[in-house]
Amino acid sequence: MPVTSRGSLSLQSLLSDLRELVECESPSSDHAAVARSAGLVARIGSARLGAEPERITIGGCSHLRWRFGDGDRHVLLLAHHDTVWPLGTLAARPYELAGGVVRGPGCFDMLAGLVMAVHAVADLPVRTGVTLLVTGDEEIGSPTSRALIEEEARRSRAALVLEASADGGALKVGRKGVSLYEVRVTGRAAHAGLEPEKGVNATIELSRLALAVNALGDPAAGTTVTPTVMSAGTTSNTVSAYGSFAVDVRAWTHAEQLRVDRALHALTPAAPGAVIEIAGGVNRPPLEEPASRALFERAAAVAARLGLPPVTGTVVGGASDGNFTAGVGTPTLDGLGAVGGGAHADHEHVLAGRLLDRTVLLRELIAELLEAPA
C-alpha cells in the first residue's frame, strides 16, 4: 500500500494544492494569467504558512516572497509559478490522476516542486531564517526576476531550487551556462540579374559565418555553439543587403563562455564592404559542480539517515534560476522538485508516490541547514 502521510505531511493535501495550480493556467508571457496564478499561489501559501507573501510586480510580471525572520544568511527556496503552456491547453490536456501518475500542463515543471516547497516550510518546527521566492517569468529567461533572485541569493547561505528532478529523481548538481547572440551582417543591395557583382551579398557572408560559429564548439569540453534561426534578404531578385542569425551557446564553465564570447567578437568579414555586428552575450552563468557538492552530500546523508530513497546526482544541459544563484557565489542544489518526466512535452507527468518522500527530504535538508552555523 502506498504511503499517504509522513508525520503531518499529507499526500492528499499535496495533490489537492497541485491540482488547483495546474488548473490555473500561467503562460509566462501573459501577465494577466501570471497575476491570476500569483494570486492563487498567495492564497494557498498563506493558508499553509499562516503568513501573507510580499507581492512584487516588476515590468508587469508577478512574483511572491515569504521571508521568515530578519537579517542575512537565510536558506533560500527558489520556485516559479509560470509555465510554457498557452491558455486553452487544459481543454485538451486536463489535470488527471490515474495509476499513481499526475498529468497536466506544468505539473512537472514545476508546479509540483512549488507545492512541495510550501508544504515543507509549513511543516518545519522553526521557520526563522527561511526565504521562499516564487517568480513568474523563469520559462522565458527570468528577465524581470533575475536581479531579485541574485539579491536574495547574495544574502543567503544556500539556495535550494525546486525545479523538477532529472531521470529517476536525480538531483541536478551541475547545469550548463547559456549565452545567446545574434550575428548581424550588413552588405549592399544590387539587382541579382543586371549587376549582382555590384552588391555585397549578406546571405553568402552569413553562410560563411554560420560555419565559422558552429566550429567554435568544443565537444571535449562539452561546449556547444549552435547557429539557429537565420533570415536574410528582401526579394528573390535582389542581392541581400542585410541578414542575421541567432546563436545558442551552452558551456559547463564560465571560462568557456568567455572563450566563445571573445571568438564571436573577433569575427571579421570576408567580403569587402560587409559589416558584422554581434549582439547579446551571457544569459545565465553555469551552475558548476563545486557550488553543489557540499549540499548534495548533505542531502544524501539526510536521505540515508531517514531511510528515504537513495539520492543520486547528475549534470544537465538546461538552465534554471539556480544558474543565477550559483553565479553570485551562493552554494546551490537544484532538481529538488518532483520525480517524473516530460517537461515541456505532451507526456509531462509526476509520480504521485514520490511526492511525500521528496518533501520530507526537502524539509529535513532545510532544518539541518538552519541548525548549522551561519
187-198, pLDDT tens digit by residue?
Answer: 999 999 999 999
Q: How confident is the model at residue 359 (pLDDT cuts 50, 70, 90)?
A: very high
Asked whether residue 1 carries a pLDDT value surpassing 50, the answer given is no
pLDDT of residue 2: 56
Residue with cell 529523481: 169
Q: Which of 17, 25, 82, 321 is catalytic?
A: 82
- Contact between residue 187 and residue 202 where contact means Cβ atoms under 8 Å apart: yes
pLDDT average, residue stretch 79-87: 98
109 DSSP assignment: I
Query: Taking the CB of residue 197, how many other CB atoms lie within 10 A of it?
Result: 7
Query: Rounded to an integer, what distance in angstroms lies between the CA atom of residue 122 and that of residue 41?
Result: 14
The full set of domains in the chain, from first to last, is: 5-176+286-371 (3.40.630.10), 177-284 (3.30.70.360)
Asked whether residue 374 carries a pLDDT value surpassing 80, the answer given is no
The residue among 91 and 7 whose pLDDT is bigger is: 91
Output the average pLDDT for the chain: 96
pLDDT average, residue stretch 254-266: 97
Annotated active-site residue 138? The verdict is yes
105-155, pLDDT tens digit by residue?
Answer: 999 999 999 999 999 999 999 999 999 999 999 999 999 999 999 999 999
Annotated active-site residue 70? The verdict is no
pLDDT average, residue stretch 239-252: 97
Q: Which of 138, 139, 334, 364 is catalytic?
A: 138
Say what percent of the chain tops pLDDT 70: 99
Query: Rounded to an integer, what distance in angstroms lies between the CA atom of residue 6 and that of residue 38?
Result: 28
Task: Enter the C-alpha cell of residue 38.
Answer: 500569483
278-326, pLDDT tens digit by residue?
Answer: 999 999 999 999 999 999 999 999 999 999 999 999 999 999 999 999 9
Q: How confident is the model at residue 71 (pLDDT cuts 50, 70, 90)?
A: confident
The phi and psi torsions of 110 (rounded to 5 degrees) equal -135, 40
* Terminal-to-terminal C-alpha distance of the chain: 41
pLDDT average, residue stretch 166-177: 97
H helices then E strands: how many in the chain?
Answer: 10, 18
**Residues in the chain, how many?**
374
Q: How confident is the model at residue 366 (pLDDT cuts 50, 70, 90)?
A: very high
pLDDT of residue 3: 67
Q: Is the peptide bond before 230 cis (omega within 30 degrees of 0)?
A: no
- Contact between residue 263 and residue 257 where contact means Cβ atoms under 8 Å apart: no
Beta-bridge partners for 156:
74
Does the model's pTM come out above 0.75? yes
Burial class (CB in 10 A: 0-12, 13-18, 19+), 299: buried
- Contact between residue 40 and residue 82 where contact means Cβ atoms under 8 Å apart: no
Strand bridging mode 275-284 / 332-333: unpaired
Asked whether residue 4 carries a pLDDT value surpassing 80, the answer given is no
